[in-house]
Structure 1
């Protein structure tokens, strides 16, 4: 199964869980885009649902697909969140944020009664860290946070836009990709990053994901977290 076909298959399997009158958190990125398109088709076929979006790009795609949107600032909980990942390990710990929406994605995931991660098989790893860890940083604190990341053993790289300017999140903050190599203790790293003033959010998702749907050469594999601890 080709990578795009695997992503599409994982997305279709996840959106099958959406029922009438659910509020769905829509993720950001290439895999989540298949879920958005699929939900649009289900709405055209009669599904009644509404959604919140984790990014401006997702808002645009959802509206184009005919999905009714609510402003997340008026929402305290969603029924299901569906999103991809850059890496995910057997303990359902993930690195997310390659698309730059990690802070909004984490907030929506934390609000979800059930968070479903959809990936192609290439995103499953034994240990996190091959993919850089994105963080969202207050522009005022760029140098301070970067030096603190170095103190934790990481190499911070300011993310740049297509014309060489610093990339910005939808909140107008800077995005820094931190190269740590294999992460032996994701929980300890997450706690240390969260203690850095000016670091607004990191891409380690350690407790948010409840279910994993993997599209691979042999079809769809579903995994459930045995005991969900939030």
Structure 2
């Protein structure tokens, strides 16, 4: 059975990626910095093909030669503390000999509160690890059930007053479950790519469905674009309409 390791596995994208892997019949090691998997683990049920471990632990022998998905998307969009990034670095350094290949999952933009230097230093660290078959997958705004409140859609749905502080990339929005499937299927090419919605106005169309959005609420704030030049673009087809995804996101 094919094996995979996901860091940041309890995050918004990380958890959906674990679910997508289970649906494909992979054996998954979910690694995170939390002391326990938390309530989301109930969604997995009693699936014997997934196990949870803290990032402090070494990868067990049965997970050797697994594909690792280094989830920096959730780290930078959820604005987790730097200790988590240090935990990920330590996990990679201890276990890199167990990795068959490594996919780095990154947001397309960094918000003003996220650090270019922090990301640059981490990517330099990864290069120094000399992991075979290392590649990157860039993702824009992801939305759906469980979206963090750092994103504008969730702020509007929860009627947050944080009106000028969000991490969205207004150029594209993808349903998180579709993004997880696209990461899994396109990652097998071992090629760095940029995932974008097949609908070029996906973010604006989704925003327009939220009644609370005033005429200026979707004004684009300053952000740092980190998409490399000449990166291959891969379109992601929506499995649900914008209305259906936002309705799922409205549910508690």
TM-score interval for Structure 1 and Structure 2 normalised by the shorter chain? 0.3 to 0.5
Q: TM-score if structure 1 supplies the norm length? A: 0.39
Question: Higher relative CO (CA 8 A, sep ≥ 6), structure 1 or 2?
Answer: 1
Q: TM-score if structure 2 supplies the norm length? A: 0.37
